[in-house]
Structure 1
């Protein structure tokens, strides 16, 4: 089957102010898409829009706030009339033993990693209906399949994301809306909320971490498939980790 042309497609990218979201924005614009960049750090979004030009729009949004999410998708409806891709990328993690963790940190992770996905996905569905090749794609993690000491609450949110998408895929399939999950290993991003840059660098060098661009390529690959083709789950790992 022929890959779909992404020219003129409308995409909402959450967590677009850095890392995977920023890389995805650049790559989608290169493919001719129009991107709506959403994140809390509006000043960084504005700088990215300066770089990307008329194909990009910046909207400040905390995905854990349902009112802000409603405003985001209402703005998309008013400007574009519909939506072709929701990329749920916003997320964060707090490291440490669960026994010593704080409920406020649980909430922060659950709001960003799970509620953000739920709020944005529900708001996007009416805009995705009737659009050939429409897709909801979300970043989970290998930590959504395997528990990692020190990341218990983060793991819980990512396990939930995987389960949610498994059910949502079955609900939205009859509408022609595709639902895909990207599950990367370690990635060079600002994701570790309370982990020093030095510690992140050491860990990611040890495991041959992916780049944000690697994950963005996986997104575009899945989205560009023919509208009748669904790549359900993408496990993204460096070749060195799977070579004999």
Structure 2
């Protein structure tokens, strides 16, 4: 059964080549939306766009590079005339005790998780004005509310996302643009660049971790609400994940 009001909506999803981004793209396409898939891995998003059919298109871009963000949203304007949903999903995390972390890792996380998100959001706002139900949604983390040992700088980036969204909501509400933040706990995705695969698998199995589709459902639920309704925040975690 299709949700009301999503047919022919236009969505941009960053980090769309796998995980939550890919799962959200699949759900939105099934609901009749047009989806722009954005990621650094050209082959992955082009293959996904071909699989999803004519309502999907692939744009290779690295959102941490501001020079690539402008052309992306210019393409959206030219192709669709406007934008209904931006899902800031691209993210990067390095695990380390803070004392052992490196400035290079800090910069890479902030460049993607914060600066890239800001660049995409600023470019998207003019395309959303006058479009009922337009929404900016971003994937944060339970770590952006409670902090997690070994992920101090990553959590700092996610705290920044939460704080930014709380303020942006107040700035854009009068224009009818909704601002929502999704905060997942443990999820079966490719996330965790420098964590041994076996350690990630064991933790996720122990927690009966969420699937990417579970988080995607939360995004689409928020987007599918009537334009007057803002689902401001969704914190979704595995039942067994008692600690952050």
Smaller-chain TM-score range?
over 0.9
In the alignment, what sits opposite 1:21?
21
Offset of residue 48 of structure 1: 0.1
Mapping for residues 68-217 of structure 1, pairs under 5 Å: 68-217=68-217
Mapping for residues 218-233 of structure 1, pairs under 5 Å: 218-233=218-233
Offset of residue 208 of structure 1: 1.8
Within 1, Cα distance between the matches of 2:80 and 2:50? 20
Within 2, Cα distance between the matches of 1:240 and 1:191? 20
Distance 1:88 1:112, change over 3 A: same
Within 2, Cα distance between the matches of 1:105 and 1:238? 28
TM-score, length-normalised on structure 2?
0.96
Task: Assess if the C-alpha contact under 8 Å between 1:4 and 1:227 holds in 2.
Answer: no
Report the number of matched residues: 240
Residue aligned with 1:22, SS: helix
Offset of residue 239 of structure 1: 4.0
Offset of residue 238 of structure 1: 2.8
In the alignment, what sits opposite 2:6?
6
Is 1:237 the counterpart of 2:237? The answer is yes
In the alignment, what sits opposite 1:52?
52
Residue aligned with 1:231, SS: coil
Within 2, Cα distance between the matches of 1:199 and 1:240? 17
Offset of residue 103 of structure 1: 0.6
Root-mean-square deviation (Å): 1.1
Residue aligned with 2:38, SS: strand
Within 2, Cα distance between the matches of 1:49 and 1:73? 18
In the alignment, what sits opposite 1:30?
30
**What are the Cα deviations for residues 202-225 of structure 1, in whole angstroms up to 9, with x where unaligned?**
111122210000000000000000
**What are the Cα deviations for residues 108-153 of structure 1, in whole angstroms up to 9, with x where unaligned?**
1101111111000000000010000000000000000111111000
**Unpaired segments of 5 or more residues in structure 1?**
none
Structure 1 runs of 4+ off > 3 angstroms? 239-242
TM-score, length-normalised on structure 1?
0.96
Offset of residue 191 of structure 1: 1.1
